[in-house]
Amino acid sequence: MSHQTPWSWKEMMAVFFARQIHDGDTLCSGAHTEISFCAAMLAQKSHAPNLRLQLGGTGYLCNLVGRPVSGGVPKTSVDYRIAQWAEGYFDHPETFLFYGPPGGGRRYYEDRDAFAGHNGYFFADHFFVGGLQVDYHGNVNLIGLGSNGGFTVRGPGSVGIGDVITVRNMFVFMTAHDRRRFVERVDYISTMGPSGWREKQFPGNGPQWIVSPLGVFDFTGEGMTARLRGLFPGHTEDEIAGATGFAVHRSELFDEIPPPTPAELALLRDEVDVTGVLAETGPQ
């Protein structure tokens, strides 16, 4: 099916993510993808100038307000281009020293307003994770496809997605939506879904969204299972149900996802994705 929109699916995803990021939040876009990098940069340049942003895996603390994106969007999480926006560095293992929530325990997550005036650098309001597979419970797999320690397809490895156990909101983003990737149960677990985080008493909330080129799931279903939260413009519930390996039901919060506004697209294209890496994929 062809959906002709004047923006690409990667641009739509970046705009959607940027809208979920609020001024004063903290965000780590660790392992690199062009979508999550652009989303964070777009948010900081548009409505979240106080976004405390760790861009890239090796601990660059970046602010892009008033700074150009010279030479295009970074290609890896240690791209030298990131350094031009950095205000601070730390060694990569120290990343994890920045993940203890203020107040300790669950307080930060349950009474976040109490911490609204903090300028501290707890870096885990938002975190992006990609996956080979994601399932109904929000478990994410970067290890591989297969069983019993064997692999028909070996994945890249779990990176740090199982380590950031204090994350308030994890975006699971999938760059394709089909029944091989959206499954009832993942083959291997790199990080658990939200019910697993609660069961294991992790401080953070873990995955709160699954975002694909077609639409968005939340975890408002029974036992924190996936529910369809919205469709990206040009896509239908039938299309998503056909491409998903678990039963698709609407979230009680199901709502229309507005298309990118002309202002969002202009800022994204003129000041963030200056070489058009998101645009070149075209619509899906």
Distances 72 to 6, 22, 45, 66, 77 between C-alpha atoms, Å: 21, 24, 15, 16, 14
E strands present in the chain: 26-29, 52-55, 60-62, 86-89, 126-130, 133-135, 140-141, 144-145, 153-154, 169-173, 182-183, 207-211, 215-218, 227-231
154 binds other proteins (CB under 8 A): yes
Of the candidate residues 131, 155, 194, 213, the single one contacting other proteins (CB under 8 A): 155
Q: Which of 109, 112, 115, 163 binds other proteins (CB under 8 A)?
A: 163
Minimum CB separation of residue 27 from other proteins in Å reads 18
Instruction: Name which position in 157, 223, 242, 282 contacts other proteins (CB under 8 A).
Output: 157
Nearer to other proteins, 44 or 190 (CB): 190
Per CB under 8 A, 58 contacts other proteins: yes
Answer yes or no: are the C-beta atoms of 171 and 211 closer than 8 Å: yes
Whole-angstrom Cα distance, residue 62 to residue 28?
A: 10
Out of 48, 192, 216, 248, point to the residue binding other proteins (CB under 8 A): 192
Report in angstroms how near the CB of residue 144 gets to other proteins at its nearest: 7
103 binds other proteins (CB under 8 A): no
CA pair distance 30, 37, nearest whole angstrom: 9
Burial track 237-247 (b if 16+ CB lie within 10 A, e otherwise): eebbeebbbbe
**Residues 230-269 interacting with other proteins (rule: CB under 8 A):** none
Q: Which of 25, 52, 59, 173 is the binder for other proteins (CB under 8 A)? A: 59
Rounded Cα distance, 245 and 220, in Å: 18
| Residue 40 sits in the site that holds other proteins (CB under 8 A) | no
Check residue 185 for interaction with other proteins (CB under 8 A).
no
Can residue 191 be called a binding residue for other proteins (CB under 8 A)?
A: yes
204 binds other proteins (CB under 8 A): no
171 bridge partner residues: 128, 209
Q: With CB under 8 A as the contact rule, which of the stretches 20-28, 143-151, 207-215, 244-252 interacts with other proteins?
A: 143-151
Q: Within 10 Å of residue 195's Cβ, how many Cβ atoms?
A: 18
- For position 68 contacting other proteins by CB under 8 A, the verdict is yes
Terminal Cα-to-Cα distance of the chain (whole angstroms): 8
Chain mean position to CA 13: 9
Q: Does 119 bind other proteins (CB under 8 A)?
A: no
Can you give the binding site for other proteins, defined by CB under 8 A? 31-34, 57-60, 66-68, 70-71, 75-81, 83-84, 89, 91-93, 96, 143-144, 149-165, 188-192, 196, 199-202
